[in-house]
Chain A
Amino acid sequence: MVGLLHTIEIAIGATCLGLLIGIGGAYGKLYGGPVVRDLLAVYTTVVRAVPELVLILLLYYAGTDLINQVLAALGYQRIDISGLAAGIAVLGFVQGAYSTEVIRGAILAIPQGQIEAARAYGMSPGLLLRRITLPAMLPFAIPGLANLWLIATKDTALLAVVGFYELTLATRQAAGVTKAYLTFYLAAGAIYLLVTLISNLIIGRIEARARRGMPSLKEAR
């Protein structure tokens, strides 16, 4: 149960962090200068090219090491980075690359005139993002972001390799102690499935809300 809780905590944290990175990344790719665009292209390409497991190992060990070296260089004590924070940071970084592309595509799908109207009425860039761009791109982004969320819940299992106690590691330990492998892994599988089913329900609600201004395809047929 603690394992499940950790899994969900990390998945939520990583998805939120990924969304923030994704919004920033998409904006940078669409409206940034050439340097920003190039950097983001490297980020999204590399992160999406390298297997997640490798990234996690790399970012987790290299990342904590780097932070500690920086701290040492600045004359601070080494710190123990909590598995939770590290897990969220690492997965969030990975999710950010995918979110960037999903959100970039969704922003491009907004009818340009709606953004133009907002500018024509004197909205500042921040207000425009908050009031028009984000809500208007949401219906186009939700299917992609929902995928990312489901992947995030399962990618948390990869954190087991760096010793983070989440659902899969908890299962392995319990199974190892009791030798009831089948039972525990089936149970874990069922829990992942349950998480997915509940997620689908919630995502369906969010999607219906985001698409509120759009006639349904059924009616258009």
Chain B
Amino acid sequence: MMAPGAAPALKHLAQNGAAEAIHVENLHKKFGELHVLKGVSLSARDGEVIAIIGGSGSGKSTLLRCINCLENPTSGIIRVNGEEIKLKADSHGHTVPADRKQIERIRSKLGMVFQNFNLWSHMTLIENVIEVPVHVLGVKREVAIAEAEKLLTRVGLAEKRDVYPAYLSGGQQQRAAIARALAINPRVMLFDEPTSALDPELVGEVLKVIGDLAREGRTMVLVTHEMKFAREVATHVVYLYNGLVEEEGPPEQIFGAPKSERLKQFIRNIG
């Protein structure tokens, strides 16, 4: 499908034959008068780790939230798992999902990890992890529990399975949130600044878990300010500036030989 004349923004896809898990094309998002995304395109093939970097307010979270329809895009195309999200205009002229069932189906393929963890506070860790498999995906409870125990072990929280989130450190909560995301066996993991709310000494333990996932070939879209980490795990880096993709490419190019002045300055300031 990749014609020789394809936009340079999508060029990296041509090198990779894997199926496309997420495809975003010319995405616009307005909050009232505020034009936050001004035509962003993005693609994640199976096994790719896409890191999104950019200054505060550049639209990184909005982009991620549009992918699983926590925000409704103003215009543009989003395909997840090969399925294009159907949108329609409501009576006020806002774009809204046309098919709620489709949105729910798509969302259950995407494992979202939030900056503030957002674990359900009235459930223990194990209950948090089995919640979606049991109640949304219809997995048998015993099966879900066995799986959840494995996942909690993986993120190093096996002995905390019956503890409520409020009794845990931020790093532990975020690792549990990653286990919750893995429990749905997602096609793609979405991370929105997963370490930004953590004390510095807790960042490492969370990055290690995410890094392991990346190395074993999980498809991920990762918004992060951890440049060193992004350089290490990403297969492709997208630099967002003011609602547009200012520059993108493999990490060696973005961090080693950036072209855009803004990107150079951004890396200087943050690194």
Contact = CB atoms under 8 A, between A and B. Distances in A.
Q: Do A and B come from one complex?
A: yes
Interface of A: 111, 113-114, 116-124, 127, 131-132, 135-136, 138-139, 210, 212-215
A215 B131 CA distance: 22
Given A212-B122, A215-B167, A120 B131 contact: no
A121 B184 CA distance: 9
Given A120-B68, A121-B132, A122-B104, A213 B112 contact: no
Contacts of A120: 68, 70, 107, 110, 112, 114
A119 B118 contact: no
A213 B136 contact: no
Interface string B70-89: 10000000000000000000
A95 B126 CA distance: 37
B116 interface: yes
Contacts of B117: 113
Q: Which 4 A-B pairs have the closest CB atoms?
A: A122-B108, A113-B118, A122-B107, A213-B164
B107 A114 contact: no
6 contacts: A113-B117, A122-B105, A122-B136, A127-B136, A136-B120, A214-B164
A214 B100 contact: no
Residue in A118, A127, A136, A213 whose Cβ sees the most chain B Cβ within 10 Å: A213
A123 B135 contact: yes
Interface of B: 68, 70, 100, 103-108, 110, 112, 114, 116-124, 131-132, 135-136, 164-167, 184
A219 to B, nearest CB: 9
A139 B116 CA distance: 21
A118 to B, nearest CB: 7
Contacts of B118: 111, 113-114, 116-117
Given A121-B132, A127-B136, A213 B108 contact: no
B107 A119 contact: yes
A117 B107 contact: no
A211 to B, nearest CB: 9
Contacts of B119: 114, 117
A118 B123 CA distance: 13
Contacts of A118: 120
Contacts of B136: 121-123, 127
B5 to A, nearest CB: 37
Nearest to B115: A113
Contacts of B114: 113, 116-117, 120
A73 B131 CA distance: 51
A113 B114 CA distance: 8
A124 B132 CA distance: 11
Contact of B121 (A119, A121, A213): A213
A117 B184 CA distance: 13
A139 B166 CA distance: 14
B110 A214 contact: no
Contacts of A136: 120-122
B121 A113 contact: no
A124 B100 contact: yes
A33 to B, nearest CB: 10
Contacts of B165: 213
A121 B119 CA distance: 12
Contacts of B116: 111, 113
Nearest to A118: B120
Contacts of B107: 119-122
A117 B135 CA distance: 14
Nearest to B136: A122
